[in-house]
Amino acid sequence: MTGDGVKGSGNTGDGLRSDGTFRLIWLGTAASRLGSSVAGVATPLVALEVLDASAFTISLLMAAAWIPWLLIGLPAGAWVDRRAKRPVMIASDVVAAIAVLSVPLTAWWDVLTVAQLLTVAVVIGTATVFFQTAWTSYLPAVLDHRQLVPANAFLYGSESAAQVAGPGIAGLLAGIVGAVAGLLLQAGTFLVSAMCLFRVRRPERRTPSTEQPDLRREIVEGARFVASDRFLRNLVSHGALSNMWLTGYQALLVVFLIREVGLNAATVGLMLTLTSLGGVVGATVAPALSRRLGTARTLVLCKAGAGPCALLIPLTGTGVRTGLFVIGSALVVAGVVAGNVVSGSFRQTYCPPHLLSRVTTSMQFVNLGTIPLGAVAAGALASLAGVRTSLWVMTAGFAVSGLVLVLGPLRGRRDLPDRSWGSVPQLQH
């Protein structure tokens, strides 16, 4: 049941649930998100258990997964814009599944190496760039515009649920059958995603263009729009700085909890699951906060307020002090997710529709491009001064990064600026 036509009731949740095309997209996306969430814990556990990897090696694995955004993010956005999105997404899923499957196979044959793990991380990161870039434009190409807001609500809800369940599943599998089993689950979810997308039969709406495509010009247009707007510049500056520190300390969390605090894999998975609940809370309260405080105040409060909460994490120890990790991490995740809900809605309504995908890619290029730097810096510092000291430095940097927003052009504003572009669906707060 793929649903060849757009349902007349597509502007409601019930309409979406009866839409076969959306059900396939929803199931595929949820499966892929769950696999990625599991892998976020399973991959460092494999490196620790099978290869006895150092903290620096673990940080390199995270850096390798994000480097493709820096290397190919901009041209990938313009390249995907010219092509049908579904084949790109299916190919990305298949490539990622094959790469992931190579890890448990070589681990069982006792030939797994750090070089292979790094290569797999780069391949999966590259596939993710193309999948995410295509997915951004895929929903508007197969759904009616009235379906977009409820569709995104369903998909974001599934993503939050996957982020909650994934770490716990990875920790449970590691405790029962070993960390490698988590990667088998991830490969399976990529294949489920590919099969669901393959079954979609509704054709994509393509925007005809009479101009000869110019990759360089299209990239420059998106980057120039971001650079010329003071609000987008401020969000990008904060995103780049905060992501560097945030990912720096997150790259060390599994190593810290297992080797410094002395927890087992199952307990680590449980603690990270509790942490992820903060994302569900953040996504839930963001609309109410926006209505009560205003969108600009909510954005600054949530994103800048998340930083100091991270300072609880290096204080984590045994016994009741493990609660400091859960509280601090959950508050960080809640603030970041709530802020992202507001900033993502702002970007959708503020940017011209014909530039939206390129503006998004340009912002991701800067925001995500600092992640490898933060991960490598944290790992190098951990090797020199210890994991806990590195956590203190990284969380302190994250704590003060919010000043970019506090002192920026949003200061004194109640709401974010708005523009009317006609066909762009307004997200309600």
pTM: 0.76
- Which portions of the chain are predicted below pLDDT 50? 1-13, 210, 421-429
Domains and CATH numbers, the chain: 1-204 (1.20.1250.20), 216-417 (1.20.1250.20)
Give DSSP secondary structure letters for 224-271. HHHHH-HHHHHHHHHHHHHHHHHHHHHTTHHHIIIIIS---HHHHHHH
Is there a contact between 416 and 231 (Cβ–Cβ < 8 Å)?
Answer: yes
Q: Tell me, what's the pLDDT at 27?
A: 84
Distance, C-alpha 216 to centroid of its chain: 27
Q: Which helix (H) or strand (E) is 395 found in, with range?
A: helix 387-401
Least Cα distance to 339 among 392, 409, 281 occurs for 281
Helical ranges in 10-84 per DSSP H:
13-17, 20-51, 55-81
Q: Which helix (H) or strand (E) is 406 found in, with range?
A: helix 403-406
Integer Cα distance of 115 and 277 in angstroms: 34
Integer Cα distance of 324 and 320 in angstroms: 8
Task: Give the three-class secondary structure for 350.
Answer: helix
Integer Cα distance of 6 and 26 in angstroms: 16
Question: Hey, what long-range contacts does 214-219 have (CB within 8 A, 24 or more apart)?
Answer: 215/75, 215/78, 215/79, 218/78, 218/81, 218/358, 219/74, 219/75, 219/77, 219/78, 219/358, 219/362
Question: Hey, what long-range contacts does 290-296 have (CB within 8 A, 24 or more apart)?
Answer: 290/342, 290/429, 291/429, 293/414, 294/413, 294/414, 294/415, 295/342, 295/345, 295/346, 295/414, 295/415, 295/416, 295/429, 296/410, 296/413, 296/414, 296/415, 296/416
Q: Tell me, what's the pLDDT at 407?
A: 94
Task: Give the three-class secondary structure for 162.
Answer: helix
Integer Cα distance of 11 and 32 in angstroms: 25
Is there a contact between 212 and 82 (Cβ–Cβ < 8 Å)?
Answer: no
Is there a contact between 299 and 416 (Cβ–Cβ < 8 Å)?
Answer: yes
Specify burial of residue 16 (Cβ count, 10 A radius: 0-12, 13-18, 19+). Answer: buried
The model's pLDDT over 300-317, given as tens digits with 9 standing for 90+, comes to: 999 999 999 999 999 999
Is there a contact between 342 and 295 (Cβ–Cβ < 8 Å)?
Answer: yes
